[in-house]
Amino acid sequence: MTAVEIGRALGARVIGIARGAEKLRTIREAGAEEVIDSADCPDLKAALRDLGGVDVVYDPVGGAPGAAAFGALRRGGRFLVIGFAAGRRPELPLNHALVKNIAIHGLYWGGYDQLEPAALRNSLSDLFRMFESGRLNPEASSPLPLSRLAEGYEMLRSRRAVGKILISL
């Protein structure tokens, strides 16, 4: 959700990929111009190419979806490795990265506190400015009391959560 909002705030045409009507509606409301239901898409790479291809892939999922999105990158594109929610890393054909001049960047934002603290501070400042100007509207769709912590974890594990889950103490 935040990646969709940040992309839109930076002027990108965002293509959101999610599973199910509720999640698709939510990412469209967050600013995605196009949405793809991963449950009804037998060929994600072709679907992305049909939309004109992509310049940047923000991949928190990995596995086959990440590899498919990588295949839809245009020349000079960027592939941001954010995580592996699918449980596997994507198998990326590095020869394509070479001949298409694709940059692959692993990004663990929390690691910047030691790697480059100024970059972390500056990015946080930029995010707060976007929020203060109304360009970011983070939403916690599932606030739960501490007594329902296990339920919140199950929502994450089963991918039923839309947006963040907040646990109140």
Q: Evaluate whether 51 touches 26 at the Cβ level (below 8 Å).
A: no
Query: What pLDDT tens digit does each residue of the chain (169 aa) get?
Result: 889 999 999 999 999 999 989 889 989 999 999 999 999 999 999 999 999 999 999 999 999 999 999 999 999 999 999 999 888 999 999 999 999 999 999 988 888 889 999 999 999 999 999 999 999 988 777 789 999 999 988 988 887 777 778 888 8
* pLDDT the model gives residue 93: 95
Q: What is the DSSP string of 107-130?
A: --GGGHHHH-HHHHHHHHHHHHHH
Q: Are strands 73-81 and 103-106 parallel, antiparallel or unpaired?
A: parallel
Residues 62 and 133 grouped into a single domain: yes
The predicted structure's pLDDT at residue 85: 84
- Same domain for 147 and 123, yes or no, is no
The per-residue pLDDT for 5 is 93
Rg (CA), the chain: 17
What residues pair up with 71 in beta bridges, in sequence order? none
Residue range of the domain that includes 164: 140-169
pLDDT at 126: 95
SS3 42: coil
Count up the domains in the chain and report the number: 2
**Predicted pLDDT at 137:** 86
90 with 48, same domain: the answer is yes
Question: Do 126 and 155 fall into the same domain?
Answer: no
d(CA 165, CA 144): 7
Are residue 21 and residue 83 in the same domain, yes or no?
Answer: yes
Same domain, 69 and 149: no
Same domain, 45 and 124: yes
Based on the fold, state whether residues 92 and 112 are members of the same structural domain.
Answer: yes
